Amino acid sequence: MSKLVAFLTLAVLTLSIAGRAEAQPADYRTYFTFSAPVTLPGITLPAGKYVFRLADPDSSRKVINVLSADGKKSLAMLHTIPNQAMKAPKDAEIRFMETSAKVPPPVKTWWYAGKAIGYEFIYPRKQALELAKATSEPILTTAKETTDLASADLSRVNGSENQAVTVEQQPAPREASGRAQPADADAAQGGASANAAQDTRADERARTTARTQLPRTSSSTPTVLVLGALALTMGLGLSLGARNRA
């Protein structure tokens, strides 16, 4: 009977961990609401709300799928390489490259909440060369003009310079650069602060910067814990009953 109790205890712990894991979507889907147009590889998004998600979490050059707010229309499939920050961001965020006012700010990197490894976007070479005229920051692109971003050799262009890039799955940590757009503070977001959601300055910030919001996710954790506790109680009752009969 003691083996039964041990088994039930292990089952409760396993199901509890699984329930908590369900709260984090496997594709890291994140909602971004832009107050002005933004530039992405091969596309300019008008102001509005969009979904960013991993299209293929298992590929070496992670593909980011950008969709409409309702998730029904795919707008872009964008290749990235890993970019590791010095410290994992508390909330999901993107980083913009600084450009002149005439150019919608290009998105450089996307980080998911609590993850130090982010996703740096690969820009088509022609677009990267144009953007290089409007910013002093090196732009990740292909070494030669090509549409095969999945396997092409990469470089960073900055004006007339062309520096080769070695893709590493575990790159050395670097200080995140560029203007950040953090996720809205919401208790339902993994790692977000509930207290920040009550910040009286939130409305003012919303008028001056684009907002990012992680989707609310449901979790079966409470149900799992209740069922597990009942099973454990039944096991203990059976064990005590067996001892009394003995």
pLDDT of residue 123: 97
- For residue 154, the one-letter residue type is L
Residue 204's H or E segment, with its range, is helix 202-208
Question: For the stretch 40-59, what's the b/e string if a residue is b when 16 or more beta carbons lie within 10 angstroms of its beta carbon?
Answer: bbeeebeeeebbbbbbeeee
State the average pLDDT for the chain: 74
Give whole-number Cα distances, 26 to 23, 71, 83, 88, in Å: 9, 16, 19, 18
Q: What angle do CA 147, 151, 156 make, to 5 degrees?
A: 75
Q: Which two tokens stand for residue 129?
A: 């060369």
Instruction: Give the predicted TM-score (pTM) of the model.
Output: 0.67
Residue 105 predicted with pLDDT over 50: yes
| H/E element, 129 | helix 125-132
Per-residue pLDDT at 8 exceeds 60: no
What pLDDT digit, counting tens, does each position of 169-210 carry? 888 998 888 898 876 544 234 333 333 332 223 333 333 333
Q: Is the pLDDT of residue 37 over 90?
A: yes
What pLDDT was estimated at residue 148? 93
